[in-house]
Amino acid sequence: MQASVDRIRRDIDRINQYTGPGLGINRLSFTPEHQGAVDYVRKQLEAIDYEMRVTAHGNYRFRRKGDDWSQPAVTSGSHLDAVPEGGRFDGVAGVVAAVEVARLLAESGDKPSVPYEIIVFSEEEGSRFGGVLTGSKAMIGSLTKKDLVQMQDQTGISYIEAIENIGVNTSDWDKAVIHPGDINAYFELHIEQSLVLETKGIPVGIVTDITGIRIYRITYQGVPNHAGATPMPLREDSLAAAAEAIQAIESLAQGASGGTMVGTVGIIENEPNVSNVIPGRTHFSLDLRDIDRECLVNMSETIISQVKDIATRRGINCTIKMTADAPPVSLSNRARQALLDATKELGIKALEMPSGAGHDAQEMARVTDVGMIFVPSIGGRSHCPEEESRFTDIAHGTSVLYSAIRKLCL
């Protein structure tokens, strides 16, 4: 059976009606926009006899009514939260594909002996509470309830408060954690977010490895002073120090051997941020990634030591906090093979490739077999309003997903 392009297009368009003001898509976790999108998915699945369980961690799980929730399921999903001014496909494509698989299974008339489950993870992007892959990390127990009391949004609301405010009962936190053996397999379809598939003219990617990510929040504390009256040698300028650090990060990441290291400073907050005052305090982020764990750890240590050296040389203070650490993973042979077999059966050309973006799949890979499908991103743009993929490509990827999942469920 083939996935329906029309249903996929409709689902993606409807979900993206749930967006806040601003360019592109604005849908932070647990906001009314996010709740609207989750509710749309719930209604689609209820129409084919699925029920929703909201987990104590604020994720959403769906199985057919009457299925045994204690039996390990073959699962698929992704996320509905988006980066600010984000695109229409990141996360949404994977959720919609997982829903379409449920429809195809229902239409096939097959009687699966292993249940199929859809999972919608929350706060994958970390755009509201500052981590990354937060819902999936909570689900597998690598972030505790205490951790999530400490993770707060810009208004001081913690992750726990945010989910309790929308009615989530967090008392079963530990019982909701998933352990090895609790899930049969996890599959995620995602847009590629780069140019490889489009450049090679290949409609489907099968992911081999997912990048490791370390995120830091760095603060330089200098001395605010008069921009006119303070001579250059007497300044303790936190922003000038940050500028030096940002350049060092770029050249260290560029010079890394292996060619898969990337380093980004995406946030800069400067105080008092006034033209005639020497900056006194500057916060900036560091997002460092590599598919090689050892290279990632070594490079993060090198960068952090340079960041400290810059502060020492300039006579200012420096504080550094690691806010996320997701190790790289190689995906399971079993799940990868199921996807490769499906592409062969369907006559769809596929390319095995690594993922430079982070995905909930890499957290799930710590507790179960994980497979990931990429579909081409037009122009390789992502995390921006210009993010674009063809609905026909998403449908091809979904047909591959369905074929692999059906085999494991029967």
The DSSP bridge pattern shows strands 73-79 and 183-191 to be parallel
250 φ, ψ (degrees, to nearest 5): -60, -45
Backbone φ/ψ region at 295: left (φ over 0), alpha (ψ -120 to 50), beta: alpha
- 357 contacts ligand GLV (rule: CB under 6 A): yes
- 132 contacts ligand GLV (rule: CB under 6 A): yes
- 198 contacts Mn ion (rule: CB under 5 A): no
Question: Applying CB under 5 A, what is the total number of residues that bind Mn ion?
Answer: 2
Which of 77, 279, 280, 358 touches ligand GLV by CB under 6 A? 358
Closest contact distance (angstroms) between CB of 274 and Mn ion is 34
Choose between 120 and 409: whose C-beta lies nearer to ligand GLV: 120
- 81 contacts Mn ion (rule: CB under 5 A): no
Choose between 209 and 237: whose C-beta lies nearer to ligand GLV: 209
Q: Which does 237 bind (CB under 5 to 8 A by kind): Mn ion, ligand GLV, none?
A: none
Q: How many CB atoms lie within 10 A of CB 340?
A: 18
Which of 24, 77, 87, 91 touches Mn ion by CB under 5 A? 91
The rounded distance, in Å, linking the Cα atoms of 362 and 90 is 16
Of the ranges 84-92, 164-172, 326-334, 401-409, which one interacts with Mn ion (CB under 5 A)?
A: 84-92
Closest CA to 122 of 375, 363, 369, 398: 363
The tokens describing 113, both together, are: 């002996």
Closest CA to 303 of 316, 322, 317: 322
Closest CA to 407 of 93, 120, 185: 185
Question: Applying CB under 6 A, what is the total number of residues that bind ligand GLV?
Answer: 4
Query: Site mask, ligand GLV, residues 92-131, x = CB under 6 A?
Result: ---------------------------------x------
Closest contact distance (angstroms) between CB of 86 and ligand GLV is 9
- 287 contacts Mn ion (rule: CB under 5 A): no
Closest contact distance (angstroms) between CB of 153 and Mn ion is 18
DSSP 204-270: EEEEEEE-EEEEEEEEEE-B-EETTTS-GGG-B-HHHHHHHHHHHHHHHHHT-TTS--EEE---EEE
Closest contact distance (angstroms) between CB of 356 and ligand GLV is 8
3-state secondary structure of 110: coil
Q: Which does 212 bind (CB under 5 to 8 A by kind): Mn ion, ligand GLV, none?
A: none
The rounded distance, in Å, linking the Cα atoms of 380 and 83 is 17
Q: Which does 358 bind (CB under 5 to 8 A by kind): Mn ion, ligand GLV, none?
A: ligand GLV
Torsion of CA 349, 350, 351, 357, to 10 degrees: 140
Choose between 90 and 117: whose C-beta lies nearer to Mn ion: 90
Closest contact distance (angstroms) between CB of 344 and Mn ion is 27
Choose between 73 and 365: whose C-beta lies nearer to ligand GLV: 365
Which of 90, 192, 287, 369 touches Mn ion by CB under 5 A? 90
Q: Which does 135 bind (CB under 5 to 8 A by kind): Mn ion, ligand GLV, none?
A: none
The answer to whether residues 375 and 202 touch, using CB atoms and an 8 Å cutoff, is: no
Query: Site mask, Mn ion, residues 349-368, x = CB under 5 A?
Result: --------------------
Closest CA to 368 of 9, 73, 38: 73
Q: How many CB atoms lie within 10 A of CB 47?
A: 10
Tell me which residues touch Mn ion (CB under 5 A).
90-91
Tell me which residues touch ligand GLV (CB under 6 A).
125, 132, 357-358
